[in-house]
A and B are shown apart, each in its own frame.
Chain A
Amino acid sequence: MSVIRTSGLGVQFGQPVLRDVTIEIQPGEFVALMGANGTGKTTLVRSLLGLIRPDEGQAWLFDTPVSRFRQWRRVAYVPQRLLAHSAVPLNVEEAVRSALTSAHHRWRPLSRDERSRVRQALEDVGLRERCKDRLEDLSGGQQRRVMVARALATRAELLIMDEPTAGIDAGEQARLAGHVAQLHATGVTIVLITHDLGPVASLAERAIVLGPPAGGSVRYDGASPPPHQWTEHVWHHNHDTDEGPGLMEGP
């Protein structure tokens, strides 16, 4: 059984954004999805989540075509963008609790276990003491931690995180890495889009690099490089050259 599978996936927004992407991710894997800006990483993830209909190819979640997939409780998603400014006051706890809303149990209130998961997720991202604060009073980094807490509270089997550590300070990144490592140890499959060479990304065991030409396609799929080589790794697989980006060398 695979958790994620794509075959010849292609997406166009006027021009190709993804082209012929074929990947397979097994249960329990921790995969970093890498690539320069505009190589289609977020588009690939959005296709996997059914938010974009691909123009070519097909995607499967847990061996079911995404268009027919209904077991969304098995999937948690941390989007790249920050939370939109809420027009009605919304506190941190409400934002996390809403991640547990689904069409499957609309009648009943959250169970004791679910409420405890919400509290634990807020604890994990260091926001337990701010659970009654307005979301808009939090900094950008703290709001991103709320989004991560939403995903953690679901206890899903597949966790897809799009740049979850952007704007989060080093201490909180280390703390988050600890919890992500724990989740991974329990068998959760994790797909991480990141440019950050921080502690969360260093947990990845496998890297998939998307790159040109003509829309993002898979340029590398294999063991994750050590974090200090990531920049060069992405550069090489985006530019077909042996020359590095020059970021690792002195003048």
Chain B
Amino acid sequence: MSWVTFDFMQRALLAATIVGLVAPAIGVFLVQRRLALLGDGMGHVALTGVGLAFLTGTAPVPTALAVAVLGAIGIEVLRARSRSAGDTVLALVFYGGIAGGVLLTYLAGNRAASSLNQYLFGAITTVSAADLVWLTVAAVAVLGFLAVFGREMFAVAFDPEVARTQGIRTELISVLTTVLAAVTVVIGMRTVGLLLVSAIMIVPIAAAQQVSSSFRGTAVLGVVIGVACAVGGVIASFYVDAPSGATIVLLTLACFLLALPVGALLRRST
């Protein structure tokens, strides 16, 4: 247990716990809305934010957060107002986000390009105390919104038309869901990286839904899997000297593969 004594590991474990907790909690609503790839799209938008931070010399996390939130609102406006289908809008965001990120990083110079990797693939052991403060504030905000608006988000994800006849402002709730996903992407940016952050939002939920028969059960089990894999992935990557983001995601995929036969057995026994 020597790793517990290292400051960087303590910060890494705290960051991993935050990501493991928040990402599946918002991911369950994305899966229900059939927007599992939204997190990927937001990751690409956040990349533009990182590039902008390199170019302007501002802090990457808050800049990426601001750009991702604007991108989230843009996605929902495009989904509602344009004639393009939802997945086409996501594709537009994918391309625009990654192109903007690459261009801005190039304009910022060679040093920026070399540090881009830690945002693309995560570098949890380099998480600073200041990063942790940002992560904690953002996570508390996401969980707070989920506590207040979670039931409306569920009603809209379940049946948006009937939700409107219940007096729920469905467009606003859809925007809120996407914005919370954007914030979660930025929370995960420094731990699992922008390219893999969507996995920890979605894969724990995909694993949980194999064995659960309720929405609440899926959400709770997804969070448990998310936290366990995030913490386990950080510890495992310390011992095997592997990239933490990839280790965390592979652990969640292992949980999914394990859940498949367990779920089949459970369904057969009922």
Contacts and interface: CB of A to CB of B under 8 A. Distances in A.
Chain B associates with chain A: yes
A64 interface: no
A101 B155 contact: yes
B214 A101 contact: no
Contact of A103 (B152, B158, B212): B152
23 contacts: A49-B164, A70-B167, A75-B165, A79-B161, A84-B159, A86-B158, A88-B28, A88-B215, A89-B209, A89-B212, A89-B214, A89-B217, A98-B155, A101-B151, A101-B154, A101-B163, A102-B168, A103-B167, A106-B148, A106-B149, A132-B213, A133-B213, A134-B213
Nearest to B34: A87
A103 B165 contact: no
Interface residues of B, number: 31
A107 interface: yes
B167 A132 contact: no
Interface string A86-108: 11111100110011011110110
Contacts of A132: 213-214
Nearest to A73: B167
Interface of A: 49-51, 70-73, 75, 77, 79, 83-84, 86-91, 94-95, 98-99, 101-104, 106-107, 132-134, 150
A115 to B, nearest CB: 14
Interface in B74-99: none
Contact of B151 (A51, A70, A98): A98
Interface centre among B154, B163, B205, B215, by most chain A C-beta atoms within 10 angstroms, is: B215
Given A73-B167, A88-B205, A98 B213 contact: no
Given A72-B166, A94-B215, A102-B168, 10 more contacts: A51-B164, A83-B159, A88-B205, A88-B215, A88-B218, A90-B214, A91-B214, A98-B155, A132-B213, A134-B213
Interface centre among B155, B164, B165, B214, by most chain A C-beta atoms within 10 angstroms, is: B165
Contacts of B217: 89
Contacts of B148: 106-107
Give 8 closest A-B pairs by Cβ, nearest first: A72-B167, A91-B214, A101-B155, A88-B32, A77-B165, A101-B151, A98-B155, A134-B213
Contacts of A90: 158, 214-215
A86 B159 CA distance: 9
B107 interface: no
A43 B172 CA distance: 25
